[in-house]
Chains A and B, each alone.
Chain A
Amino acid sequence: MVSPDDVEKIANLADIRLSGDRLGEFTREFNAILEYFDILDTVAEEAGEKRGEFNIMREDEVTPSLPQGEVLALPRDSEEGFIRAPRVME
Chain B
Amino acid sequence: MKAQGPVTGEDPFNAFITRCEWKPGGKGMLAGIMVAVKDNISTRGIPTSCGSRILEGYTPPYNAHVVDLILREGAGIAGKTNMDEFGMGSSTENSAFGPTKNPADPSRVPGGSSGGSAAAVAAGMVPMALGSDTGGSIRCPAAFCGIVGLKPSYGRVSRYGLVAYANSLEQIGPLARTVREVSLLMEVISRYDPRDSTMGDRPFTPRLTGEVKGLRIGAPAEFFGAGVDPAVGESVREAIGLLEQSGACVVPCSMPSMAYALAAYYVTCTSEASSNLARFDGVRYGTPDDIRKPWHDAFREVRAKGFGEEVRRRILLGTFALSAGYYGKYYAKAQAARRNVSADFARIFRDVDVIAGPTMPTVAFRIGEKTDPLSMYLSDILTVPANLAGIPAVSVPCGKVNGLPVGLQIMGKPLEDERVLDVAYAYEQGAGR
* A residues neighboring B (CB under 8 Å): 2, 7, 10-19, 26, 29-30, 32-34, 36-37, 39-50, 66, 70-71, 73-77, 83-88, 90
Looking at the complex, which one of B284, B316, B320 makes contact with A16 (CB distance below 8 Å)?
Answer: B316
* A16→B300 contact, CB < 8 A: yes
* B266→A37 contact, CB < 8 A: yes
* A86→B294 contact, CB < 8 A: yes
* A36→B263 contact, CB < 8 A: yes
Looking at the complex, which one of A17, A33, A44, A84 makes contact with B300 (CB distance below 8 Å)?
Answer: A17
With contacts defined as CB atoms under 8 Å apart, how many contacts are there between chain A and chain B in the complex?
Answer: 144
6 contacts between A and B (CB under 8 A): A10-B316, A15-B296, A40-B333, A48-B342, A76-B288, A77-B288
Residues of chain B within 8 A of A44, CB atoms compared = 336
Q: How far is the CA of A82 from the CA of B377 in the complex (A)?
A: 42
Query: Contact size class for B?
Result: 35 or more
Instruction: Label chain B's interface by main secondary structure.
Output: helix
- Contacts A83-B284, A86-B294 given; indicate if A40 touches B320 (C-beta within 8 A): no
B317 located at the interface, meaning its Cβ lies under 8 Å from any Cβ of chain A in the complex:
yes
Looking at the complex, which one of A7, A10, A33, A74 makes contact with B284 (CB distance below 8 Å)?
Answer: A74
Q: Mark B286-298, 1 if CB is under 8 A from A, else 0.
A: 0011111111111
- Contacts A11-B316, A15-B296 given; indicate if A29 touches B339 (C-beta within 8 A): no
* B320→A87 contact, CB < 8 A: no
Q: How far is the CA of A77 from the CA of B372 in the complex (A)?
A: 40
Looking at the complex, which one of B283, B315, B333 makes contact with A75 (CB distance below 8 Å)?
Answer: B283
Residues of chain B within 8 A of A2, CB atoms compared = 320
- Contacts A85-B291, A86-B293, A86-B298 given; indicate if A47 touches B316 (C-beta within 8 A): no
Q: Of B64-72, B100-108, B208-216, B301-309, which binds chain A?
A: B301-309
Residues of chain B within 8 A of A32, CB atoms compared = 372-374
* A26→B343 contact, CB < 8 A: no
- Contacts A10-B319, A33-B317, A40-B330 given; indicate if A16 touches B337 (C-beta within 8 A): no
Besides A15-B303, A19-B304, A77-B291, 5 other CB < 8 A contacts?
Answer: A16-B316, A29-B372, A40-B329, A45-B336, A47-B340
Q: How far is the CA of A41 from the CA of B334 in the complex (A)?
A: 9
Residues of chain B within 8 A of A84, CB atoms compared = 291
